[in-house]
Amino acid sequence: MKKCSLFKLILWFSVSLAVLSSKEVFAMHLSEGILPAKDAIGAGILALPFVIIGLKKIGKSKKENPLYFSMVGLLGAAVFVISAFPIPVPIAGTCSHPAGTGLSAIILGPFPSVVVAAVALLIQALFMAHGGLTTLGANILTMGICGSFCGYFTYKFAKKVGFSPFVSGFFAGVVADITTYAATAFVLAFSLSNDFVTAFLEIGLAFVPTQIPLSILEGVITGFAVRYVFQNRPELLSHGRNMEVQI
């Protein structure tokens, strides 16, 4: 019974956000070729250590419990679906979409969540013309790293000060979503404008009409997902340590 419920919960989380997003296919994340070569390479270099550490942590957790890898795949599918339905933001030269990395970071840990996001971004770039290979490092940096770590530490802080699992998950989902777009605005402003502050504010404000509602929605659904897991399968929040996951 718990097996079916867990699958239904994460599937509902993914599909709910997807249905409420645009169904048209636009280039999403940071588009192919939008960044100068030096910035694209620099972002890739910054992102690579996080991916390597994430892979090592996944391998270690898999050895401790082979079923952990199934949860990585399940959360990976959720992040892929959630982030595959963009809403175009023409002023910014990119798109707005939910991220999903808040939930994956809470359950898997922030470093494995970076790997999950990296795989989702790579597949979207290769087969869906979403994002791009030249901007893969930058997209991992914004959605995978910033989204995962900011969402994870927001959740940990909220729990530490006494908030409920739902409220903690809500804040984590909102922060993961918003910081992904703040980081995207930062990268675009840094790479494409000589007036960083003005460009950052203009690009950031361009996201507000679509991203604020999406971040609240993602926060609510993340909160419900975390509360469900906390009440029914709290071992899933151990990031692979002594997990008895029945999937």
Q: Which domains does the chain have, with CATH numbers?
A: 32-238 (1.10.1760.20)
pTM flag (> 0.85): no
Encode pLDDT of 25-42 as tens digits: 333 477 777 888 899 999
Q: What is the pLDDT of residue 174?
A: 94
Could you count the other beta carbons within 10 Å of the beta carbon of residue 239? Answer: 21
Instruction: Give the model's confidence band at 8: pLDDT under 50 very low, under 70 low, under 90 confident, else very high.
Output: low
Three-state DSSP class for residue 101: helix
Which CA distances in Å does 233 have to 2, 105, 110, 227, 244?
8, 16, 19, 10, 9
13, 221 Cβ separation under 8 angstroms = yes
CA–CA distance, 48 with 168 (Å, rounded to integer): 29
Beta-bridge mates of residue 96: 87
Q: Mutual orientation of helices 101-108 and 68-82 as an angle, nearest 10°?
A: 170
- pLDDT number for residue 12: 52
Q: Percent of the chain scored above 90 by pLDDT?
A: 35
pLDDT at residue 231, rounded to an integer: 87
How sure is the predictor about 47, in pLDDT bands with cuts at 50, 70 and 90?
very high
pLDDT of residue 159: 93
Least confident of 20-29, 48-57, 68-77, 157-166: 20-29
Give the highest mean pLDDT range of 15-24, 28-37, 143-152.
143-152
Collapsing DSSP states into helix, strand and coil, what is residue 94?
strand
Which helix (H) or strand (E) covers residue 95, if one does? strand 94-96
Give the pLDDT of residue 90: 54
What are the DSSP calls for 134-177, one per residue? TTHHHHIIIIIIIHHHHHHHHHHHHHHTT--HHHHHHHHHHHHH
Q: At what angle do helices 110-127 and 147-160 cross, to 10 degrees?
A: 150
Indicate if the pLDDT at residue 50 is higher than 90: yes
**Which residue, among 65, 114, 76, has the nearest Cα to 239 in the 3D structure?**
65
**Percent of all residues in the chain with a pLDDT value above 70, rounded to a whole number:** 79
Nearest 5°: phi and psi at 9?
-60, -50
Q: How far apart are CA 50 and CA 67, in angstroms?
A: 23
Residue type, 115: V
- Count of C-beta atoms within a 10 Å radius of residue 148: 35
Least confident of 82-96, 125-139, 192-206: 82-96
pLDDT at 241 over 80: no
At 94, is the pLDDT very low, low, confident or very high (cuts 50, 70, 90)?
A: low
3-state secondary structure of 129: coil
Question: pLDDT by residue (tens digit) across 163-183?
Answer: 999 999 999 999 999 998 888
Higher pLDDT, 172 or 214: 172
